C-alpha cells in the first residue's frame, strides 16, 4: 500500500485523452453554454463516444488502488469548463451513493440507467440538500413512509444537479422519526414518477451549463425494491442506530458518500485553479505596461508563484485523500475535507487574481477568467462549505489527539527486512560508521561496494 506519484501508463494516457477532450470539445463551447445557461447535450454525447460517460468507466477509476486516476481525470475535465464538467460527472455522484448503499442486483439495475449509452444518454441526480438544510442534516424534512409493498416519499429538495431532468434520482429521506437524521435511507426515484415536481431550474452565478433545480416530492410512490440496500439491511442498520443512540457518530450513508466524493470535488476545483494560473501567466508575459511585460513586476509575479505553490500543495492533499479512499484508510484527521478546503479556496483566490492580472480585460467576457471566477465560487459552497470542512477537520483532530500523525500511524510497507535494513536503520548506520573507520585498511573495491549500498539513489 505505497503512495507513488509516478503515473502508470494508463493514467498518463487517461490524463492526456481527458485534456484533449477538454481543449478540443469543452473550451471552445464553454462561453456559449455559460451565456445561454443551456445543458450541453452534444458535449455529453462526445464524452460518451470517447468513453468518459459510463458507469464502468467510473467504477474502473474508483477501483484504481493508486487512487490517482479519478483526480487526474477530474482536473483535466474541469480545466476545460466546470459547468460542462459538472454536467458530465453528475451521474458519477449519484453512482457513488448507489455504490455505497445498493445491493449488487440494485447496482446492476440502476448503474446503466444513470448514464445510458451514446445516442441514448441518460442522467442521474443525487438529491440530498433541502431549503432548510444543506450543511445541517438534522434539518432534513423529506420523509418516506412504508405503504404495503411501496414507499411514499414527501419532501422538498433544493440545488439538485440534474434534478427533475434525470432518469434516476437518488434521494435521501427519513424513515424513522425517532432516530431523525440518523434514521435515513436512500431511494431511487425514476424521472417522470407521478408526484415528482420540477419546481424551477435555478438561475446561477456560475457553472451555468449544468442544470440545478428545486424539486418537490408530492407523495411519490416507489416500489420496495427502490430502497437502496433492501429492507432487511435497513432494519438491521436502524436497530444498530437505536442501540447506539446518543453515543456520537452520525454514520449515515449520505455523509459517507460526501466523504468519499470530496477528493473528487477537490480535483475539479484544481482544474479551474490551474486554468486560471496558466492563463494569467501567459497574459502577464505578453501584456506590456511602462515598457515591459507586467510579469516583470513582483506585484504580478509573486501572487502567481504563491498560487502555483498552493495549487501543487492542494493537489498533493487531494491525491493523498484519493489514495486513502481507494485503500480504505479512514479520513480520521479530516483528510478528505482538507483536500476539498485547500483546493476550493485556492480556486477562488486564483481566479480572482486572474481577473486582477488581466485588469479591465479580466472584468469583461472577452476572456474566460470572469467566468472561471464565477464557477470557482461554487466550490467553497457545495459538497460542504469551507466552514463545514473546517468543522469536520477540527472535530477530527480533536478526536485523534492521542494518535500520531498519519504517516506514523499507517501500517508500514516493506516488511521486517525493511525495518532491519532499510534507510535510516541502526544496522545501516553501523555499517556506514564501520566503513568510514576502516577506510585506510579496507580494499577500495569493498569500500566502493559499501558506498554504492549507502549512497542516495541517483
Ligand atoms: C450550484 C449548486 C449545486 C448543488 N448541487 C447539489 C446536488 O447536486 N445535490 C445536493 O444534495 N445538494 C447540492 N447543492 C447544495 C449544497 O451542497 C448546499 O448548498 C451546501 O451544502 C450548503 O448548504 P446551505 O446552502 O443550506 O447553507 P447553510 O447550511 O445554510 O449555510 C449558510 C452559511 O452558514 C455557514 N455555516 C453553517 N453551519 C455552520 C457551522 N456549524 N459553523 C460555521 N459556519 C456554518 C455555512 O458555511 C454557510 O456559509 C448544490 C448547491 C449549489 C449552489
Q: Which three cell numbers stand for residue 446?
A: 569493498
Cβ within 8 Å of residue 21, ≥6 positions away: 46, 47, 50, 52, 76, 77, 80
Beta bridge partners of 189: 169
- Cα distances from 429 to residues 433, 439, 440, in angstroms, run 6, 15, 19
pLDDT band at 455 (very low <50, low <70, confident <90, very high): confident
306-334 pLDDT tens trace = 999 999 999 999 999 999 999 999 999 99
Closest Cα to atom 18, ligand 1: which residue? Answer: 134
Q: What separation in Å is there between the alpha carbon of 311 and the centre of ligand 1? A: 24
Q: Give the mean model confidence (pLDDT) for residues 114-130.
A: 97
Backbone angles phi, psi at 20, to 5 degrees: -60, -45
Q: What does the block give as the cell for 434?
A: 564501520
202 lines ligand 1 (CB under 6 A): no
Report the residue count for the chain: 458
Strands 124-127 and 168-174 come out as parallel
Give the cell for residue 44: 455529453
356 lines ligand 1 (CB under 6 A): no
Residue 21 CA to ligand 1 center (angstroms) comes to 31
- Ligand 1 mean position, distance from CA 132 (Å): 10
Residue 263: all three cell numbers together: 477528493
CB 78 within 8 A of CB 271: yes
Alpha-carbon gap, residue 17 to 21, rounded angstroms: 6
Over residues 217-244, the mean pLDDT reads 95
Phi, psi angle pair for 17, to nearest 5°:
-65, -40
pLDDT grade, residue 338 (50/70/90)?
Answer: very high
Q: Which residue has the higher pLDDT, 137 or 290?
A: 290
Alpha-carbon gap, residue 91 to 89, rounded angstroms: 6
CA 395 to chain centre: 21
Over residues 92-118, the mean pLDDT reads 95
User: Which residue from 123, 385, 393 has its CB within 8 A of the most atoms of ligand 1, so it is best to mutate?
Assistant: 385
- Render pLDDT for 266-295 as a digit per residue (tens, 0 to 9): 999 999 999 999 999 999 999 999 999 999
Q: How far apart are CA 274 and CA 278, in angstroms?
A: 6
Of 232, 233, 267, 223, the closest CA to residue 253 belongs to: 233
pLDDT of residue 18: 98
CA of 176 to the centre of ligand 1 (A): 24
- The answer to whether residue 256 scores a pLDDT higher than 70 is no
Which of 92, 100, 76 has the alpha carbon at shortest distance from 315? 76
Confirm or reject: Cβ of 159 under 6 Å from ligand 1: yes
Q: Is 276 in the pocket of ligand 1 (CB under 6 A)?
A: no
Q: Is the CB of 327 under 6 A from ligand 1?
A: no
In the chain the domains, ranked by start, together with CATH numbers, are 120-243 (2.40.110.10), 252-414 (1.20.140.10), 421-454 (no CATH)
Q: Does ligand 1 lie within 6 Å of residue 391's CB atom?
A: yes
- Cβ of 142 below 6 Å from ligand 1: no
Quick one: which atom of ligand 1 is closest to the CA of 128? Answer: 11
Q: What percent of the chain has pLDDT over 70?
A: 96
pTM: 0.94
- What spacing in Å lies between the alpha carbon of 214 and ligand 1's midpoint? 14
Read off the pLDDT of residues 371-414 as tens digits, 9 standing for 90 and up: 999 999 999 999 999 999 999 999 999 999 999 989 898 888 88
Residue 204 CA: which ligand 1 atom is closest? 1
Q: How confident is the prediction for the chain on average, in pLDDT?
A: 93
Amino acid at each position: 500500500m505505497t503512495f507513488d506519484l509516478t503515473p502508470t501508463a494508463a493514467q498518463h494516457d487517461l490524463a492526456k485523452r481527458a485534456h484533449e477532450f477538454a481543449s478540443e470539445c469543452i473550451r471552445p463551447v464553454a462561453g456559449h453554454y455559460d451565456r445561454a445557461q443551456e445543458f450541453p447535450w452534444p458535449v455529453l454525447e462526445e464524452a460518451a463516444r470517447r468513453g468518459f460517460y459510463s458507469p464502468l468507466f467510473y467504477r474502473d477509476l474508483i477501483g484504481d488502488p493508486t487512487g490517482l486516476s479519478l483526480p487526474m481525470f477530474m482536473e483535466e475535465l474541469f480545466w476545460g469548463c466546470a459547468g460542462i464538467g459538472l454536467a458530465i460527472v453528475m451521474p458519477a455522484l449519484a453512482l457513488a451513493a448507489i455504490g455505497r448503499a445498493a445491493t449488487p442486483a440494485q447496482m446492476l439495475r440502476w448503474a446503466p440507467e444513470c448514464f445510458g449509452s451514446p445516442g441514448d444518454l441518460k442522467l442521474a441526480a443525487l438529491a440530498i440538500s433541502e431549503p432548510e438544510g444543506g450543511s445541517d442534516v438534522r434539518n432534513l424534512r423529506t420523509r418516506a413512509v412504508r405503504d404495503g409493498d411501496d414507499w411514499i416519499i414527501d419532501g422538498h429538495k433544493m440545488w439538485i444537479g440534474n434534478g427533475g431532468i434525470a432518469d434516476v434520482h437518488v434521494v435521501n429521506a427519513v424513515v424513522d422519526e425517532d432516530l431523525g437524521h440518523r434514521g435515513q435511507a436512500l431511494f431511487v426515484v425514476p424521472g417522470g414518477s407521478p408526484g415528482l415536481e420540477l419546481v424551477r431550474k435555478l438561475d446561477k452565478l456560475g457553472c451555468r451549463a449544468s442544470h440545478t433545480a428545486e424539486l418537490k416530492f408530492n407523495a411519490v410512490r416507489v416500489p420496495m425494491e427502490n430502497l437502496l440496500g433492501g429492507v432487511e439491511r435497513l432494519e438491521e442498520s436502524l436497530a444498530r442506530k437505536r442501540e447506539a443512540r446518543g453515543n456520537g457518530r452520525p454514520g449515515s450513508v449520505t455523509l459517507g458518500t460526501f466523504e468519499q466524493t470530496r477528493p473528487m470535488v477537490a480535483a475539479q476545483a484544481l482544474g479551474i485553479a490551474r486554468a486560471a494560473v496558466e492563463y494569467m501567466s501567459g497574459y502577464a508575459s505578453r501584456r506590456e505596461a511602462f515598457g515591459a511585460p507586467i510579469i516583470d513586476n513582483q506585484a504580478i509575479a509573486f501572487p502567481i508563484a504563491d498560487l502555483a505553490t498552493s495549487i501543487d500543495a492542494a493537489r498533493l492533499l487531494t491525491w493523498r485523500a484519493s489514495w486513502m479512499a481507494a485503500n480504505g484508510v479512514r479520513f480520521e484527521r479530516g483528510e478528505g475535507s482538507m483536500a476539498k478546503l485547500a483546493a476550493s479556496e485556492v480556486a477562488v483566490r486564483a481566479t480572482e487574481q486572474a481577473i486582477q492580472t488581466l485588469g479591465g480585460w479580466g472584468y469583461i467576457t472577452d476572456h474566460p477568467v470572469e467566468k472561471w471566477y464565477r464557477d470557482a465560487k461554487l466550490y467553497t459552497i457545495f459538497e460542504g462549505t469551507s466552514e463545514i470542512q473546517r468543522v469536520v477537520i477540527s472535530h477530527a483532530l480533536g478526536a485523534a489527539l492521542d494518535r500520531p500523525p498519519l504517516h506514523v500511524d499507517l501500517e508500514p510497507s516493506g516488511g521486517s527486512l525493511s525495518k532491519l535494513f532499510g534507510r535510516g536503520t541502526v544496522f545501516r548506520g553501523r555499517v556506514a560508521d564501520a566503513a568510514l573507520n576502516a577506510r585506510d585498511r579496507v580494499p577500495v573495491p569493498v569500500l566502493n561496494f559499501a558506498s554504492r549500498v549507502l549512497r542516495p539513489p541517483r
